């Protein structure tokens, strides 16, 4: 009976120092001896990111054996104290492990709920494991399933919807207003970290060009070079407002640098094309009254923060829905695990039957000596094979039915294995002497 185990550290259970100490980058389960010929573990997958280190493995040995093996190998690889690992670690088994993996893949366990990076990291880890040939039937199936669960969670819930970073929220808003950004230019007024981040997001969303305006032209040129855009001096701000559609402002100016009354004139010259201001400076750079003008939209840092917080709250609400989906999928996976137990039994049963058929065929042929031509031989072979298949048909159907209908069909599978002695056990004559009367 194969069991699934999951050992791990994450940002909730362990501090950064501990996670760093037990990181498993470039860990190869085969080379490090986690999987060996007759060891307790048959399949393993290692996920190591900055927020989590996890080992997923499958084996039929007892839990202690697997645990000892994993923890010793892990601590040994990292040359760190095994007790420290034990103190910070979490452990899941079987369906618990499946549920945890689905939760991780769907990004419900991430530091920022719903951020999709983890799925990519999990895919990389899986790709590596496939290359190193450390995964087989169960982990293969489990990982493919977890990718599809993540996809389902993404499409059926809004866990990953809505920006949860300020710069990204600004870009989302720009898209609400302009749609396709490829025909629009953006302008950075002043340079700050957040403004740069927003500029990068804008470029990724296909904005046509970035114009950098700064008090010192040199700094502006430096930044413009980074975004392959243009640079201009702060004195030309008014002129530049005629041609740009998105303005991200973050200067350290003590008072507002763009006034509503100036903008009114500019708007007329712009033929009222809409313009979107993102003011992330404190104190503010842009007169709040510009928001009252038609075709002008202004969001300041507080507005954006509010958007982000709302979105985060929304994600949390959606996470509940996602957990329901995961529960369903875990049930489905459990079903599959069950049928997995049935299938080898069927295979064994048929294999056994075939061996018997071949053996009896040979024996009969020996008795007949050379009197058999090819046609008769083939007919006899077919007869023997189909006799076995017909005989085993009913028991197999019975097992399949039980597995579909009952929770603990395992006992029937167990019974079948014993009845047909599929495991080739030697049973002594007086095995159950006490039961006989």
Partner 1 sequence: MISLRIFDLGIALLYFVAAIQVLAGFLFRQKKLQSLGNYLTVAGFGLHSIDLGLQYFFYFKETLVQSQFYFSLLAWAFLLVFFLLWFRLKLKFLSLIAAPLALILFSSSLAISPKVIPIPPRLSGLWFALHIGTLFISMGFLAMAFGAGIAYLYLEKKIKTKSRLSSFSKDLPSLTAFDRANHLAVTWGFPLFTVGTLSGFIWAAFTWKKIFTWDPKEILAIIIWLLYAYLFHQRLALGWKGRKPAKLAIIIFVLTVISMLGVNFLIPTHHSFKP
Catalytic center residues: 50
Q: Using the minimum distance from each CB to partner 1, give the nearer residue, 143 or 246.
A: 246
Please identify, among the stretches 44-52, 306-314, 386-394, 408-416, the one whose residues bind partner 1 according to the rule CB under 8 A: 306-314
Among 303, 341, 354, 414, binds partner 1 (CB under 8 A): 303
- Smallest CA-to-CA distance from 281 within 361, 192, 210 is with 192
Question: CA dihedral defined by 380, 385, 388, 392, rounded to 10 degrees?
Answer: -160
Question: Is residue 177 a contact residue for partner 1 (CB under 8 A)?
Answer: yes
Q: Using the minimum distance from each CB to partner 1, give the nearer residue, 127 or 273.
A: 273
Q: Using the minimum distance from each CB to partner 1, give the nearer residue, 27 or 299.
A: 299
Q: Using the minimum distance from each CB to partner 1, give the nearer residue, 227 or 299.
A: 299
Q: DSSP letter string over 10-21?
A: ETTTS-HHHHHH
Among 26, 295, 335, 376, binds partner 1 (CB under 8 A): 295
Least separation in angstroms between residue 174's CB and partner 1 is 9
- Run of H or E residues at 248: strand 246-249
Among 33, 39, 192, 274, binds partner 1 (CB under 8 A): 274
The length of the chain is 437
Long-range contacts of 221-230 (CB under 8 A, 24+ apart): 223/188, 223/191, 223/196, 226/196, 227/199, 227/200, 227/203
Question: Is residue 12 a contact residue for partner 1 (CB under 8 A)?
Answer: no
d(C-alpha 305, C-alpha 166), whole Å: 6
Question: Is residue 208 a contact residue for partner 1 (CB under 8 A)?
Answer: no
d(C-alpha 187, C-alpha 270), whole Å: 16
Question: Is residue 306 a contact residue for partner 1 (CB under 8 A)?
Answer: yes
HSE-up (13 A, CA, CB side) for residue 20:
3
Q: How many residues bind partner 1 (CB under 8 A)?
A: 23
Q: Using the minimum distance from each CB to partner 1, give the nearer residue, 235 or 310.
A: 310
Question: Is residue 333 a contact residue for partner 1 (CB under 8 A)?
Answer: no
Among 294, 371, 405, 423, binds partner 1 (CB under 8 A): 294
Measuring CA to CA, how many Å separate 13 from each of 98, 111, 164, 302? 19, 12, 24, 33
Least separation in angstroms between residue 159's CB and partner 1 is 13
Please identify, among the stretches 125-133, 210-218, 266-274, 387-395, the one whose residues bind partner 1 according to the rule CB under 8 A: 266-274
Least separation in angstroms between residue 292's CB and partner 1 is 9
* Structure letter (DSSP) for residue 258: B
Question: Is residue 17 a contact residue for partner 1 (CB under 8 A)?
Answer: no
Residue that the structure tokens 């007790």 belong to: 83
d(C-alpha 180, C-alpha 69), whole Å: 55
- Smallest CA-to-CA distance from 11 within 104, 128, 139 is with 104
Q: Using the minimum distance from each CB to partner 1, give the nearer residue, 120 or 206.
A: 206
| Tokens linked to 195 | 């403004």
Question: Is residue 309 a contact residue for partner 1 (CB under 8 A)?
Answer: no
Question: Is residue 310 a contact residue for partner 1 (CB under 8 A)?
Answer: yes
Least separation in angstroms between residue 265's CB and partner 1 is 14
Least separation in angstroms between residue 176's CB and partner 1 is 6
Question: Is residue 235 a contact residue for partner 1 (CB under 8 A)?
Answer: no
Question: Is residue 135 a contact residue for partner 1 (CB under 8 A)?
Answer: no
Q: Please, are residues 215 and 250 in contact by the beta-carbon 8 Å criterion?
A: no
- Smallest CA-to-CA distance from 98 within 142, 130, 40 is with 142
Hey, which residues does 59 pair with through a beta bridge? Answer: 3
Using CB under 8 A as the binding rule, the residues of this chain from 146 to 175 that contact partner 1 are: 158, 161, 173, 175
**Interface positions with partner 1 (CB under 8 A):** 158, 161, 173, 175-180, 270-274, 291, 294-295, 297, 299, 303, 306-307, 310
């Amino acid at each position: 009976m194969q069991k699934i185990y999951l050992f791990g550290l994450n940002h909730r259970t362990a501090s950064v120092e501990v996670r760093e100490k037990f990181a498993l980058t470039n860990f190869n389960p085969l080379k490090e001896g986690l999987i060996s010929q007759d060891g307790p573990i048959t399949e393993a997958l290692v996920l190591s990111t900055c927020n989590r280190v996890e080992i997923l493995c499958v084996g039929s040995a007892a839990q202690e054996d697997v645990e000892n093996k994993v923890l010793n190998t892990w601590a040994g690889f990292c040359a760190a104290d095994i007790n420290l690992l034990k103190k910070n670690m979490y452990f899941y088994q079987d369906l618990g492990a499946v549920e945890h993996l689905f939760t991780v893949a769907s990004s419900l366990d991430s530091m920022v709920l719903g951020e999709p990076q983890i799925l990519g990291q999990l895919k990389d880890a899986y790709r590596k494991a496939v290359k190193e040939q450390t995964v087989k039937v169960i982990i293969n199936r489990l990982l493919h399933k977890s990718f599809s669960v993540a996809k389902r969670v993404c499409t059926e819930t809004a866990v990953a919807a809505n920006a949860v970073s300020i710069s990204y929220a600004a870009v989302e808003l720009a898209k609400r207003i302009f749609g396709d950004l490829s025909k629009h230019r953006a302008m950075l007024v002043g340079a700050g970290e957040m403004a740069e981040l927003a500029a990068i997001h804008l470029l990724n969303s296909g904005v046509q060009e970035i114009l950098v305006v700064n008090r010192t032209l040199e700094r502006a040129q430096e930044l413009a070079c980074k975004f392959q855009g243009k640079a201009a001096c702060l004195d030309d701000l008014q002129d530049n407002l005629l041609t740009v559609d998105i303005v991200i402002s973050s200067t350290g100016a003590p008072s507002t640098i763009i006034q509503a009354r100036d903008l009114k004139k500019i708007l007329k010259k712009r033929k009222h094309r809409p313009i979107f201001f993102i003011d992330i400076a404190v104190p503010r750079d842009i007169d709040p009254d510009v928001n009252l003008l038609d075709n002008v939209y202004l969001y300041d840092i507080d507005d954006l923060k509010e958007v982000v917080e709302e979105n985060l709250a929304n994600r949390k609400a959606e996470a509940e829905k996602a957990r329901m989906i995961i529960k369903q999928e875990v049930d489905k996976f459990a079903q599959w695990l069950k049928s997995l137990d049935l299938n080898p039994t069927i295979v064994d049963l048929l294999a056994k039957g075939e061996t018997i058929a071949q053996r009896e065929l040979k024996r009969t042929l020996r008795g007949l000596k050379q009197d058999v031509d090819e046609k008769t031989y083939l007919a006899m072979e077919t007869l023997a094979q189909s006799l076995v298949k017909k005989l085993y048909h009913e028991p197999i159907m019975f097992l399949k039915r039980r597995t579909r209908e009952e929770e603990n069909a395992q006992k029937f599978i167990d019974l079948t294995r014993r009845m047909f002695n599929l495991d080739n056990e030697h049973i002594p004559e007086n095995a159950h002497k006490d039961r006989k009367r």
